Amino acid sequence: MIAYLEGKIKEKGTDKIVVDVNGIGFEVFVSSNSLRNLPEKGEIAGVHTYLHVREDILQIFGFNSLEEKEMFLNLLSVSKIGPKIALSILSALSLDSLRKAIIMGDLEMITAIPGIGKKGAQRLILELKEKLELPDFFENIPEQVNNSAYIEARDALVNLGYSTMEAAKALEGCLNKNNLSAEEMIKFALKKLAKC
């Protein structure tokens, strides 16, 4: 098993990199979130890896953090989700947003991810809900109030013309603030979107 690679980034594509480790180039598929956090071409990088073995192919998937790798492995444990779809899921949402969507049973958010239909989203929620731990910022917030306000705020942003993904990314971080109302969450998200 190849668990970690460190070397110079020789190539950087839209969904993969080539890491030169002592003259050997390893093609490593990465999520867009990991890709953004990796150094530029020509610089040294280290990635946690997962080697996917099939009868006809060997593929290496890379992650910027062990937490992302762990989520990838959780996604692979769900029936009918392969490594490419798992990587697509990790590219679409941050780890916190994905964890929150699964724990809250947010079908709309999960089905907005390319390659995930309603049945796949239901399976994902059913099989992973118990495995995932709530992020620390959920612990001190009443879950029912938080969930309904968050969903109301996200739906309002979608009605304003933002995609479900854009709305979720804009709302990231507002749940660690003390029990915000839907209106306060919307204001928080709109300020964040205005800076983009």
Q: What is the signed CA dihedral for 37, 68, 31, 61, rounded to 10 degrees?
A: 110
Interval 11-27: pLDDT, tens? 999 999 999 999 999 99
Question: Which domains are seen in the chain, by residue range?
Answer: 4-64 (2.40.50.140), 67-128 (1.10.150.20), 136-195 (1.10.8)
pLDDT score recorded for residue 51: 96
| DSSP per position, 26-74 | EEEEE-HHHHHHSPPTTSEEEEEEEEEE-SS-EEEEEESSHHHHHHHHH
Which band of pLDDT confidence, cut at 50, 70 and 90, is reported for residue 74? very high
pLDDT at 141 over 50: no
Q: What mean pLDDT, rounded, does the chain reach?
A: 86
* 82: Cα within 13 Å, side-chain hemisphere: 6
Q: Indicate the pairing of strand 44-53 with strand 24-30.
A: unpaired
Average pLDDT over residues 140-152: 59
Which band of pLDDT confidence, cut at 50, 70 and 90, is reported for residue 146? low
Q: Name the residue among 141, 183, 188 with its Cα closest to residue 168.
A: 188
Q: Does the global pTM surpass 0.85?
A: no
Spatial distance between the Cα atoms of 60 and 2, rounded to a whole number of angstroms: 8
Average pLDDT over residues 97-119: 88
pLDDT at 144 over 60: no
Which band of pLDDT confidence, cut at 50, 70 and 90, is reported for residue 139? very low
Check: CB of residue 25 under 8 Å from CB of residue 10: yes
Q: Would you say the C-alpha torsion 128, 131, 137, 141 has a positive or negative sign? A: positive
Strand-pairing partners, residue 4, are 48
Interval 101-110: pLDDT, tens? 888 888 888 9
Secondary structure string (H, E, C) spanning 118-167: HHHHHHHHHHHCCCCCCCHHHCCCCHHHHHHHHHHHHHHHHHCCCCHHHH
pLDDT at 50 over 90: yes
